[in-house]
Amino acid sequence: AEYMGIEATAEQVTPVGKTAYRGSSFCRQIQWLSVREVRNALRDKPSLVGRFGVTTFLNIIVGIVFLGVGNDWGNPLVPDSQMTAIQNHFGAVIMIAIGSLFGQAQPMILAFPQERPVFLREYATGTYGTVPYLLCKLAVELPMSFLQTVVVFLITYWMVEMRGNFLWLVLSTELTGLVAASTALALGAAVADVSTAMQIMPLLFVPQFLFAGFFIRVERIPAWLRWAQYLCSLKYGVNMIAVVEFDNHPAHSAASVDRFLESNSMSEDDMGLYVGIMMALFFLFRLAAILILRAKGRTLSAQ
């Protein structure tokens, strides 16, 4: 028999609930799932237009609101003036990071519940496994995420007059979005429909703001709850982007920049820690999605 291009003989098919997809090689599953994911992405033109259209429109607004703040460092003779200018500059960094979080997480948490019934049916019939399925989704997601982030900075970089390395800003922001998308993927895998996904969406976004340190310093959060900051990628994404952006500052503002970064618990020396935490969250939530889908698929197979 052949389904979705994956061939399997009667001898290769194992009983329901077992790993029937092993009849097809891992590479074979990757090959055909990749073809399907690419075709689905290209065929869904309204989603593509909406995704990049909204990204373009919103970042034009961000660029207008924060026009030129990256080149405004205040009066060198007035420290308060410099701190105000740096805070305005940091506001642009926060908005770009938040835009990346929403721009990549929201499509994932809304789209995945629609695909979930197809996956469960095909997993239950032994067409493929969870790992090839999610790897192929990631293979399509990575270039899409990169292009979306490039669009963000093609608009904002020169309008805001940002000073950080363009490529490092793109990569830091893309990683922020990918980790948020991984969180959305795990949540989307756990719910049955889009309606439920929309209802739990605040569970994805609100903690990001609470533990990012924008509204209240992390030290002010009760100690027994403070651990949650390590599950919220926005904090470390903003730290990465800010360190890259403020690395190239005028000499006369060095003291104010250093004081600002230190007051917000940001340090170039901790860049490796930020990246490490982000990568750990990325793999943690992807693994959670694999385990959730596998458990759902086995439950369906057993029925």
pLDDT in tens, 45-73: 888 898 899 999 999 999 999 999 988 87
Position 283 confidence tier, pLDDT thresholds 50, 70, 90: very high
Show the tokens assigned to 246.
């403020």
pLDDT at 18: 41
The set of residues, in sequence order, having a beta carbon less than 8 Å from that of 120 and lying 6+ positions away, is 293, 296, 297, 300
Express each pLDDT in 94-130 by its tens digit: 999 999 999 999 888 877 788 878 888 888 888 888 8
* Residue owning tokens 């090959």: 31
Three-class SS of residue 172?
Answer: helix
Asked if pLDDT for residue 1 goes beyond 60, the answer is no
For range 240-258, the mean pLDDT: 88
Q: Which residue has the higher pLDDT, 12 or 205?
A: 205
pLDDT at 21: 47
Alpha-carbon span 268 to 172, nearest angstrom: 13
pLDDT at 223: 85
Express each pLDDT in 124-157 by its tens digit: 888 888 899 999 999 999 999 999 999 999 999 9
Q: What percent of the chain has a predicted confidence (pLDDT) above 90?
A: 42
H or E stretch covering 7: strand 6-7
* Residue owning tokens 């002010």: 220
131 with 290: CB under 8 angstroms? yes
Closest C-alpha to 100, from 178, 47, 211, 166? 178
H or E stretch covering 6: strand 6-7
Q: Which residue has the higher pLDDT, 80 or 301?
A: 80
Asked if pLDDT for residue 22 goes beyond 60, the answer is no
161 with 69: CB under 8 angstroms? yes
Asked if pLDDT for residue 285 goes beyond 70, the answer is yes
Amino acid at 74: G
pLDDT at 299: 77
Q: Residue 112: exposed, middle, or buried by beta-carbon count in 10 A (0-12, 13-18, 19+)?
A: buried
Q: At what angle do helices 26-43 and 45-65 cross, to 10 degrees?
A: 70
Alpha-carbon span 90 to 84, nearest angstrom: 10
Position 198 confidence tier, pLDDT thresholds 50, 70, 90: confident
Amino acid at 204: L
pLDDT at 76: 73
Q: Which residue has the higher pLDDT, 143 or 2?
A: 143
pLDDT at 14: 37
Amino acid at 195: S
